[in-house]
Chain A
């Protein structure tokens, strides 16, 4: 069964970093981009960036440039999204999704609070 399984909820203090994982099952990991999308409470979807699991090449939204790093480990079919210098407005549900948008992870809640 094709699915993306994300790591569990995180609680962080302002200024800290968070690293969320997304493990792929049921398809060829290197054949599809993985995108990261976040959704603040009561707000819309916001694209953060994408990674090519085959080459490791990344593209980031301008808003997150310098603060986000996406990586992958092909040996375990997993991609990672690390967001640094966290602020309270980074509190959101973070999703990974396969390149065509047809498969989504369950979401990972990241809460930033002092």
Chain B
């Protein structure tokens, strides 16, 4: 199972919106609606930000939203804030009862 493809880095200024893509195949991202996004700050465990493509866990800001089209999922962060600076990982359930992660995207708030 190959890793999902994410851009290595994205950046944006405070108040702007950024979108992080996550491209898989028809055996993972394209095969189901079990795509999640995680935020990881240095030295910390990952934090769930989006699950089931577009659902937000309680306590996660509505500035975070998720979507999917075909084999590509996306995470959009609107109204960027300094505290959003972190690494972001996508994750998908795959048809062979496994998980697969993306390579991670470093978000820099300029």
Residues in chain A within 8 A of chain B (CB atoms): 35, 37, 44-47, 49-50, 59, 61-62, 95, 97, 100-102, 104-107
**Cβ A47 vs Cβ B100 within 8 A:** yes
Question: Shortest distance in angstroms between A62's beta carbon and chain B's nearest beta carbon?
Answer: 7
The 9 lowest CB-CB distance pairs between A and B, nearest first, are A104-B45, A44-B104, A47-B99, A45-B101, A59-B97, A101-B48, A102-B48, A44-B103, A101-B36
Whether A45 contacts B48 by the Cβ 8 Å rule is no
Q: Which of B38, B47, B57, B97 contacts A45 (CB 8 A)?
A: B38
Most buried by B among A37, A46, A49, A101: A101
Most B C-beta atoms less than 10 A away, residue of A37, A46, A95, A107: A37
CA separation between A8 and B29, bound complex, in Å? 35
B98 touches A59 (CB 8 A): yes
Residue of B nearest to A106 (CB): B45
Name B's A-contacting residues (CB within 8 A).
Answer: 1, 3, 36, 38, 40, 45-48, 51, 57, 87, 89, 91, 97-104
CA–CA, A37 to B2, complex, Å?
Answer: 15
Flag if B45 contacts A95 (CB, 8 Å). Answer: yes
Main DSSP-derived SS at the A contact region: strand
19 contacts between A and B (CB under 8 A): A37-B46, A37-B101, A44-B3, A44-B101, A44-B102, A44-B103, A45-B46, A45-B104, A47-B101, A50-B99, A59-B97, A61-B1, A100-B51, A101-B48, A102-B48, A102-B57, A104-B46, A106-B45, A107-B45
Q: How far is the CA of A106 from the CA of B57 in the complex (A)?
A: 20
Bound Cα distance from A91 to B57, whole angstroms:
32
B48 lies within 8 A of A35 (CB): no
Whether the pair B3, A100 counts as a contact (CB closer than 8 A) is no
Closest Cβ of chain B: how far from A92's Cβ, in Å? 14
A104 proximity list for chain B (CB < 8 A): 45-47
* The one of A47, A95, A97, A100 that contacts B98, using a Cβ cutoff of 8 Å: A47
Instruction: Tell whether, in the assembled complex, residue A45 and residue B45 are in contact, meaning their CB atoms are under 8 Å apart.
Output: no
